[in-house]
Structure formats: structure tokens, C-alpha cells
Amino acid sequence: MSLESILIINRSGGLIYNKSFNSNNDTASGIGSNELLILAGTLHSAFTLTNCILPDTLTDFSESYNEYVDESDIEMTNKQNNSDNTEIELPFEISKDVSNDNNNISNQKNLLAIKSKYYPPGVATPNVNINTTSEQNIKLQSIIKELTFKGSDLFTTGTNSTILNNSNRSRIVDYHQVSCIRQISTEHLNIYCHQSITGTKFISIFNKKNEYKMDIDRVTCFLMRIYSLYSDIILKNPFYSLDMPIRNNNKFDNKLERLVTLESFA
Amino acid sequence: MNSANSNTSIPSSSGIDSATNTAAIIQNDPDYSKVIFLKQLGEQVFQQNMKKINAEFLTITYGSLIKVLIEHYKEDVEKCNTKLKEMGRNIGSRLIDDFYAKVTTQIPRCSNLKDLGNTLSYVGFKLYLNCVPKVLFDENEKIIKLRFDNDINIFSKFVELPDEFKNKRLYYSNIISGVIEGALSGIALKSDVKYVSDTLLGDSTTEIQISNVKKIKDEVPMGQ
């Protein structure tokens, strides 16, 4: 599987950034900018719709925004009883006395929780042992050098095994709280999505040339790295206005290319 | 620890003898463990993910900015306050993405006002200003107040306002209220944020008040 292109879609469904890799490939060159815009709009509406068709069992446990609860209602229920709406599952174990009902629900919650694993950058396949060379470290340093990120969280290499064993690092996104499309699989393509809380969607399109199937969590980590690049390089540029297309940002292009080569996707 | 205790008002503990059972209640109180979690999260992300700059440089830069603003508006303090807030709003709407990108561990979704206040204070302010304002929560009127003690607001560290601005009530760090408002609007929450008092103006405390928090229904990002 290799990376075809990366799209960034803003909160209102407009395509603000697209970059295609493997430009000599037929599938990539066949897509014009108009089609990309349509694709972005379609994906955006698909995201919106999936939230509406979420099964009832899931909506009971997910704190998704689509069930509109007035702030006052929350306060009311909060006063009346410690209702399930206000219960937030924390990533670590807490000893708290809960009634039987609550206990049941929290059990079910645990069943439904989908959490994605953390993958360090530059790991080609999950089966291969993590051997981060100094070369990879240099590449990583070159990516995070000019960022405001210190990088010890999201951009950790696999050399430091203690970081991986750390409970905080093992899980990165808790999809228990999220309801959205994560992956679309077609005959020729695999599409992976990550949506940030502000509604910006990061979409990467992979072709299915090689038989090897990419782990979804790994791509999610990759997309989160793009998100951090975006929030750093694009949004902190004072001359960029929000929700507008990103044009001629060499810095972002370079960093993105480096990230892709580091992850050896392309 | 002390501040956390006073912040978490325990809703259902009225009937229980507080003197003996306080420790047990606090341990079992989900609100309290949430606060502890947010504190740890803020500390961890601050240590691991944030690059730091010199605080004095920021303070002086901000001071010169205020000076230029006042000159530009010919000492019209009202205009300065609104302009500062507008600038803050622009910053906030960009910063919210940065915030969520840096707090890579999933942050629990705020389901009520108290959560919102605690998250703002223990994570937001910790990350960007390295100060943790006290959260005062008014359940009846649905108001969060953030109180800055002593010198923890770095913007007003070396500042002594002249009397003419004191009388006209120039809120020196009004940019913070704008940032909060902009950041909340980024996650589809409408709110009114304003300064209610400032020690620079001779008040006894510095307080920012967040009120009228409403979800914007039409324009909801359905992300995490």
C-alpha cells in the first residue's frame, strides 16, 4: 500500500489543502481539482450523516454533539442525580462507588470503547522490530526543529522503550468519545480519516497495490502528526485567514514530504 | 491540593457529616478525580510538549503593544478594550487547534460548566501561561469566574497603571478574555467573557467571568 494523496477539509466542507504523491501514477493524475472539491464535499456530508445514523445503543454511550442537550438540562440532571450524561470515563482507574445501574453501564462502556494504539513514526511494518537508526532520528529532528512542539509526546521514536510502555503513550485517540468515519475501503483504494474537534478533517488515500494492509491506528497517528503540523505551521501564520485554502506554503509542504518519507508511505 | 478541595463543591454530600468523612468523599467524588486528572494532564503536557520562551520578553512585548494601542486610539480606553478583545478572539480561534494537537492524550469532553472551567484553568492556562487561576463556580447563575491570585498573570507583572487609565478602567490583560471566547467558539460554544475586576485598577482581586455558555446548534463540528 502506498500513499496517493492527503486532503484537508475545513469545518464547512471545503477542501483547503490537497497534495498528491506518486504523481506518475494513473489514478492520481486522473483526478482534477474540481473532482477533488466534489470528493471533499461528499466526504464531509458522509461524516455528517454517519453521526445521524449512529445506532441507538451507541448514541446512549457516546457523548456526541448530535444529541443536542441544552446546558441547562445538563445542569438539571446533574443536580437531580449523578446521571450518566455527566459521567466521563477517565483513562485511568478510579475507585468510585457507583450504583448497580451505573456499574452496568460502565461495563458496557468498556466494551464499546475503541481506542487506537500509538505507533512511533518511521515504523515500516508492525511486525518488524523497532530499529530506529540515527538517520531516522535526524529526519525526525528536522521535522520538529522549527515547530513549537517539543515533540517528546507525539513524535517519539521507538528507541525509548519506556515511552512505549508508559500507559499514557499506549493509547492515543479514545474513539469512545468520537463518532465518525475512520476508514473507507474500496476495490482500489483505502481511505483513512481523522477528524479534529474543531471539525477539520484529515484524509489520506492509499492505493491497494501491495497486498500489505496498513494498520488503521498507525495511519491515525500519522494523521495526528499532520494535524500538529497544520496547527503549528498553518494556523500560526498571521497572514493565513481561517478556513481558507492553503496556497504556496513551502514550509508545510516540505515538512509534510519529510514526514511521509520518514513514515515510508510513499 | 487545597485549591482543588475548595474548587470542587460536592453536590450530594450535604447530608453527610463533613468533618469526619471529607477524605472519603473526596476520594470517591468523580469531580475530584477529574480535577486531579486534568492537573496531571496539564503538568505532563506542559513538561513534555511545550517549547518555552522567555516570560520577560513576552511581558515587555505585550506592554509595548498596549502602549501603541493607546497612542493609536488617542487614549480612548473603551476602544482599546474592545480592540484587545478582538485580537484575543483571533488568537483563540487559532490556538484551539494547537491546544488539541498538543494535548494528544484524549482529553475528556466537558459535559458541564464545571468541567469547562477546570479544563480551561488546569490545562489551558497551564499550557500557555504557566499559571493556574482559581475556578469559582456559581451553579445558580451558570457563571464561571477565574481568579488570578497575586502575580500569576504574567502580562501585568511589572505594570503600574497611571491614574487616568485607572479611572477610565483600562483592562490591561483584556486579551485573555478574548482568547477564551475565541477558543470556545472554535469548538462551537458561544460565550460572553469579560473582566469584572483587576488588581491594577485598585480592586482586591483579578477576575475573569465566563457567562452565557451555549452550544451553537447549527454549526456543530462533530469531531472528537
Domain extent listing, chain A: 2-54+114-263
Residue A114 banded pLDDT, cuts 50, 70, 90: low
pLDDT of the residue at A251: 87
Q: Check pLDDT > 70 for residue A131.
A: no
Q: How many CB pairs under 8 A join A and B?
A: 159
Closest approach of B186 to chain A, Cα-based (Å): 6
- Round to whole Å and give the CA distance between A175 and A199: 15
- Round to whole Å and give the CA distance between B73 and B166: 17
Question: Which residues of chain B, if any, have pLDDT below 70?
Answer: 1-30, 104-109, 141, 217-224
The more confident residue out of A170 and A39 is A39
Terminal-residue alpha carbon distance, chain A? 9
User: Cβ A235–B217 below 8 Å, yes or no?
Assistant: no
The more confident residue out of B86 and A20 is B86
Is this complex scored with an ipTM above 0.95?
no
DSSP B61-78: HHHHHHHHHHHHTTT-HH
Is there a contact between A7 and A18 (Cβ–Cβ < 8 Å)?
A: yes
User: Cβ A150–B50 below 8 Å, yes or no?
Assistant: yes
pLDDT of the residue at B101: 84
> pTM for this structure?
0.76
pLDDT of the residue at A52: 65
- Round to whole Å and give the CA distance between A81 and A55: 26
Q: Check pLDDT > 50 for residue A76.
A: no
> What value does the mean pLDDT take over residues A229-233?
88
The more confident residue out of B178 and A143 is B178
Q: Which domains does chain B have, with CATH numbers?
A: 29-215 (3.30.1380.20)
Write out chain B residues lying below 8 Å of A121, CB-based: none
pLDDT of the residue at B86: 92
Tell me yes or no: is domain A2-54+114-263 CATH 2.40.440.10.
no
Q: What is the CA radius of gyration of chain B?
A: 18
The more confident residue out of A113 and B141 is B141
Q: Check pLDDT > 50 for residue A112.
A: no
pLDDT of the residue at B83: 92
Please name the residue ranges forming H helices in A69-166: 71-80, 100-112, 134-144, 161-165
Residue A178 banded pLDDT, cuts 50, 70, 90: low
Residue A23 banded pLDDT, cuts 50, 70, 90: low
Picking from A65, A148, A151, the nearest residue to B220 by CB comes out as A65
